[in-house]
Amino acid sequence: MTTIVTPTQPIDGQKPGTSGLRKKTPVFMAPGYVENFVQSIFDGIGGAEGKTFVVGGDGRYFNDSAIGTIIRMAAANGAVRVIVGQGGLLSTPAASHLIRKNKTDGGIILSASHNPGGPTADFGIKFNIPNGGPAPEKVTEAIFAATTSIRTYRISDVAAPDLSVLGLSDVDGMTVEVIDPVSDYAELMGTLFDFDAIKALFGRGFTMCFDAMHAVTGPYAHAILEKTLGAAPGTVINGVPSPDFGGGHPDPNPVWAKELVDIMMAETAPDFGAASDGDGDRNMIMGRGQFVSPSDSLAMLTANATHAPAYAQGLSGVARSMPTSQAVDRVAVDLGIESYETPTGWKFFGNLLDAGRATLCGEESAGTGSNHVREKDGLWAVLLWLNILASRDQSLAEISAEHWAKFGRNYYARHDFEAVDTARANDLVDTLRAALPSLVGQTFGPFTVASGTNFSYTDPVDGSVSDNQGLIVAFDGGSRFAVRLSGTGTEGATIRLYLESYMAPEGDLTLPVDEALSEIVAVAYDIIDLVVKTGRTEPDVVT
């Protein structure tokens, strides 16, 4: 029954990236690593005394043990209550909802999202603030500063409770409440969407496949899609969370969700397909024989959101991350609403959502969400699509064809070059940045450079400035490419090259994406001097 004050030393590299601290699992499992970072979270937010936190994760290897440490440290730091998902499970959007619903002081979410899990794979910890969203930069900077000066951490010697048992227990005077991870979230979804219309859709014989990718959304999808909405048993595949995600990458894109892609491309494909990632905040949307790019999905959801009760009164505005295609901007113009372009990472949407300036937000990386929580939300996106399909009573193919016929089509792809030598990746970015002014006005193949931008964002709500958020080369006519380095990787540098080619409504709207992008890919590779700078000729992953 005592708090132990343990001496420690700062550990290098505990700097949160795009979405919290992500490292290889063995790094997190090293003595003192979790302890140092968690103590730094508490120190960085002005202490834990008297506070309440939500704690949960995506169930990956080391999730339960890290949660036990966090509970004992929260108690020793004077927290009064910790709400934790049964089995240590909480999807990221469900955690965001619980933080808001219970008016807590924030939450600690354990996940490396779409990265693989296991003893030699990836792990992550991030802190979310009381609005339910990822800590903004000023908070992550304070946490990082604390990691560089830490001298002690506090931990209780009382064991953490058994997380498989629902209910209340006491750890050194702090209440631990183990809750069902699904029920609050499922109830929230019921308030946003027309569940009766979706039930009727399934009642009409509509079929669907949801791939939970052995990750956290399995229990949520079973409860909502199959039990509540009446989707046929077996609609959810890979629905039992496993610590190593069945040995795969729980990344919902055509590369890693190949099982779903094969199902959706088969002659016997269901009407609708979807997948979510490790921690449940990403989504992939497919129709029969058709993949919908996340950027297009954001645009189509924005154009059709009023079909769902929560958005029936219209949207206040929409926000997308810089590399996300400009498709949604055209919809915003049509709707007469504001559109915002933010840096990569959900933390930049928080102020816009809190201020009521944006209702929907999205990223090209399969993230879409709304003001119902402060994280992107995979199942929410699936349910909004289902609500729209039910209400319009048209196929996804019909809806997307009509969309492109009205707005034109932003053909889009992202090329990732992984585990590039960090010095070479930095040199590529530095060289392009320096060349940006001189590119303007030059012609490359069919493209003339309209602008070259080192993207900087001034938050319209609090005025904070985030510089160096990626490089954009835009061409006359609306096509463009962007380059930035990943802030979630755990090995070397990952170069992300985002490619977008706009086709007006009178052009060919049904081209294969790689064909539509072939010229801009060649021009982009040439301008960034890819082969010379990296030694690579092919991307590792195309999404």
The mark string for 295-334 relative to ligand VG1 (x by CB under 6 A, - otherwise) is --------------------------x-------------
469 lies in the binding site for ligand VG1 (CB under 6 A): no
What amino acid positions are annotated as catalytic residues? 113
Q: What, of ligand VG1, Co ion, none, does residue 363 touch, CB below 5 to 8 Å by kind?
A: ligand VG1
* Nearest distance, CB of residue 135 and ligand VG1, angstroms: 13
Please select the residue that binds Co ion; options are 96, 113, 147, 371, rule is CB under 5 A: 113
283 lies in the binding site for ligand VG1 (CB under 6 A): no
For 240, list phi and psi in degrees, rounded to 5: -105, 120
Q: CA–CA separation, 76 vs 453, rounded Å?
A: 48
Q: Give the helix/strand (H/E) hosting 233.
A: none
User: Which distant-in-sequence residues (6+ apart) come within 8 Å of 201 by Cβ?
Assistant: 386, 389, 390
* Nearest distance, CB of residue 375 and ligand VG1, angstroms: 8
**Closer Cβ to ligand VG1, 143 or 396, answer by number:** 143
Both tokens of residue 134?
């990822």
Please identify, among the stretches 98-106, 171-179, 388-396, 484-492, the one whose residues bind ligand VG1 according to the rule CB under 6 A.
Answer: 484-492
Q: CA–CA separation, 139 vs 127, rounded Å?
A: 9
For 178-202, letters b (16+ CB in 10 Å) and e give bbebbebbbebbeebbbbebbeebb
490 lies in the binding site for ligand VG1 (CB under 6 A): no
# residues near ligand VG1 by CB under 6 A: 18
Both tokens of residue 405?
């016929």
Site for ligand VG1 in 334-393 (CB under 6 A): 344-346, 363, 365, 367
281 lies in the binding site for Co ion (CB under 5 A): yes
Query: What is the DSSP-derived secondary structure letter of residue 185?
Result: H
282 lies in the binding site for ligand VG1 (CB under 6 A): yes
Handedness of CA 358, 301, 384, 310 (dihedral sign): positive
488 lies in the binding site for ligand VG1 (CB under 6 A): yes
281 lies in the binding site for ligand VG1 (CB under 6 A): yes
For 29, other C-beta atoms within 10 Å of its C-beta total 16
Site for ligand VG1 in 4-43 (CB under 6 A): 18-19
For 20, list phi and psi in degrees, rounded to 5: 85, -170
**C-alpha closest to that of 326 among 449, 505, 478, 520:** 478
Site for ligand VG1 in 66-125 (CB under 6 A): 113-114
Both tokens of residue 45?
């937010």
For 465, other C-beta atoms within 10 Å of its C-beta total 9
Q: What, of Co ion, ligand VG1, none, does residue 365 touch, CB below 5 to 8 Å by kind?
A: ligand VG1
Residues near Co ion, by CB under 5 A: 113, 277, 279, 281-282
Residues near ligand VG1, by CB under 6 A: 18-19, 113-114, 277, 281-282, 321, 344-346, 363, 365, 367, 486-488, 496
